[in-house]
């Protein structure tokens, strides 16, 4: 009897060991590989703007490399998946997975982040980008992003806006009066204060308006001049202290959650380097356009405002900062707090700006 019991115990132990080894081998052999993702990315510009396209593709290349090819980006330029003014809605609903969103196109959805589009609020792009990254962590900002089912990945920017015109050169402050200018957001308020007539059309619609004389000029980033062929219908460029526009690269929250914590960490690491890469890659094109392509290939005249006019515009702009803060406070949002935080953090990053960046501050 003892021998039979010993035999049974030995047999059960053998079966247990074999079963354990089989399960382990099965899991090792048949474990599903990590899920692969191809993210649809909506981009405002066309790929013909090689410098902007390079700045955009850098993020996707880093994501692919750092995930071993598990996460890749497929780019949909301009209105391929959705009109740029609808990028936030398209990302929220899943039409696109990621988008280079412009807050001025839908200010009610992320009102606090429109602080980065206030006229004259920044000239140092790197410092501005890092400041927006900081603001993205504010509870009130995160709450609005959650409401829209999106996650902030990084900040991107246009470089300082310029004013370019078709027939009338703007050489001094008085020349702004009566000028019909394509501009949006708070910048439109400033142009109105300068005596201009703001026309709120998308930059993609400006070519025909400039050609027909519906507008006299456009307040827009340098990069739009070639992207939208505005060099063909304008002749003058005036450097103005309007500043650029600080914006957001966003991703659908559901898609983001599916990527997993390891990819989230990679995205955070990419963000740390993104500001410097964006500045250097994008700015190379702006500087080439300003100093070579426009004056030499298209025979444009590049105009600098007198210093007293430059300072007068900045003084007028500061009034609109406070107006923005009060209007935002009235909506029971921390407008004044956000503005003060922006100014404080921006000044900190200006002092910490890495040497050698191509900042293109115009003045």
CA distances from 159 to 3, 102, 135 (A): 87, 14, 19
Helix H segments across the chain?
Answer: 2-30, 50-66, 87-93, 125-135, 139-147, 185-193, 206-212, 223-227, 253-259, 261-288, 307-330, 335-351
pLDDT along the chain (363 residues), means of 10: 51 50 42 75 88 93 98 96 96 98 93 93 92 97 97 91 95 97 86 95 90 95 86 95 89 98 98 96 85 95 94 90 96 98 97 87 65
Give the C-alpha separation, 6 to 163, whole Å: 93
Domain-located, residue 362: no
In the 8-state DSSP scheme, what is residue 34? Answer: P
Give the C-alpha separation, 312 to 194, whole Å: 10
45 and 99 in one domain?
A: yes
Position 164 scores a pLDDT of 97
Domain extent at residue 120: 37-158+245-296+335-351
Q: Identify the CA nearest to 264 among candidates 40, 42, 63.
A: 63
186 and 215 in one domain?
A: yes
249 and 105 in one domain?
A: yes
Q: What is the dihedral of CA 123, 127, 128, 130, to 10 degrees?
A: 170
117 and 60 in one domain?
A: yes
Domain-located, residue 22: no
In sequence order, the β-bridge partners of residue 100 are: 249
The enclosing domain of 184 has a CATH number of 3.40.190.10
In the 8-state DSSP scheme, what is residue 1? Answer: -
Domain-located, residue 60: yes
202 and 173 in one domain?
A: yes
Work out how many domains the chain is built from and give that number: 2
What is the three-class DSSP state of 305?
Answer: coil
Position 30 scores a pLDDT of 36
Position 196 scores a pLDDT of 97
Domain-located, residue 58: yes
The enclosing domain of 123 has a CATH number of 3.40.190.170
What is the three-class DSSP state of 182?
Answer: strand
Backbone dihedral region for residue 68 (phi beyond 0: left; psi -120 to 50: alpha; all else: beta) = left
CA distances from 141 to 7, 113, 148, 278 (A): 69, 7, 11, 23
Give the C-alpha separation, 154 to 132, whole Å: 8
270 and 213 in one domain?
A: no
Domain-located, residue 125: yes
Give the C-alpha separation, 217 to 170, whole Å: 10
Angle ∠(42,157,63) on CA atoms, nearest 5: 55
49 and 105 in one domain?
A: yes
Domain-located, residue 17: no
Position 357 scores a pLDDT of 87
Write out the DSSP string of 35-66.
Answer: PPEEEEEEESS-TTSHHHHHHHHHHHHHHHHH
Domain-located, residue 140: yes
Position 45 scores a pLDDT of 83
For the chain, the C-alpha Rg in angstroms (whole number) is: 26
Q: Identify the CA nearest to 204 among candidates 189, 225, 232.
A: 225
190 and 117 in one domain?
A: no
β 98-101/245-252 pair status: antiparallel
148 and 45 in one domain?
A: yes
Position 107 scores a pLDDT of 93
287 and 147 in one domain?
A: yes
Position 254 scores a pLDDT of 98
Position 292 scores a pLDDT of 93
Q: How many residues does the chain have?
A: 363
Angle ∠(335,337,342) on CA atoms, nearest 5: 95
Mutual angle of helices 50-66 and 261-288, in 10-degree steps: 160
Position 158 scores a pLDDT of 82
Domain-located, residue 15: no
258 and 119 in one domain?
A: yes
Q: What is the dihedral of CA 284, 285, 288, 293, to 10 degrees?
A: 170
256 and 146 in one domain?
A: yes
């Amino acid at each position: 009897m003892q021998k039979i019991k010993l035999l049974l115990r030995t047999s059960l132990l053998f079966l247990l060991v074999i079963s354990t080894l089989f399960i382990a081998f099965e899991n090792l052999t048949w474990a599903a590989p990590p899920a692969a993702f191809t993210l649809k990315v909506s981009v405002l510009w066309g790929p013909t703007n090689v410098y902007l396209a390079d700045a955009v593709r850098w993020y996707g290349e880093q994501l692919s490399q750092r995930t071993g090819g598990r996460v890749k980006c497929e780019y949909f330029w301009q209105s391929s998946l959705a009109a740029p003014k609808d990028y936030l809605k398209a990302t929220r609903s899943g039409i696109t997975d990621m988008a280079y969103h412009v807050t001025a196109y839908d200010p009610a959805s992320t009102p606090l982040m429109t602080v980065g589009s206030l006229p004259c609020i920044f000239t140092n792009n790197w410092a501005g980008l890092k400041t927006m990254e900081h603001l993205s962590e504010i509870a009130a900002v995160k709450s609005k992003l959650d409401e829209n089912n999106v996650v902030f990945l990084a900040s991107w920017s246009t470089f300082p806006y310029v004013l370019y015109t078709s027939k009338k050169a703007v050489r001094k402050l008085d020349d702004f009066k009566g000028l019909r200018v394509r501009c949006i957001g708070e910048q439109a308020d400033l142009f109105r204060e300068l005596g201009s007539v703001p026309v709120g059309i998308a930059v993609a619609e400006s070519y025909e308006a400039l050609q027909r004389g519906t507008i006299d000029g456009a307040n827009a980033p340098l990069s739009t001049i070639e992207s939208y062929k505005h060099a063909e219908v304008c002749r003058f460029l005036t450097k103005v202290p309007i500043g650029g526009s600080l914006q957001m690269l966003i991703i659908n929250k559901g898609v983001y959650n599916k990527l997993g914590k390891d990819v989230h960490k990679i995205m955070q690491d990419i963000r740390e380097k993104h500001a410097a890469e964006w500045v250097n890659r994008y700015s190379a094109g702006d500087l080439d356009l300003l100093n070579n392509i426009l004056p030499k290939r298209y025979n444009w005249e590049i105009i600098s405002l007198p210093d007293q006019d430059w300072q007068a515009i900045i003084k007028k702009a500061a009034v609109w900062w406070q107006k923005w803060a009060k209007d935002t406070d009235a909506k029971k949002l921390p407008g004044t707090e956000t503005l003060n935080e922006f100014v404080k953090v921006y000044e900190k990053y200006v002092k910490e700006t890495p040497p050698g960046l191509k900042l293109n501050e115009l003045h």
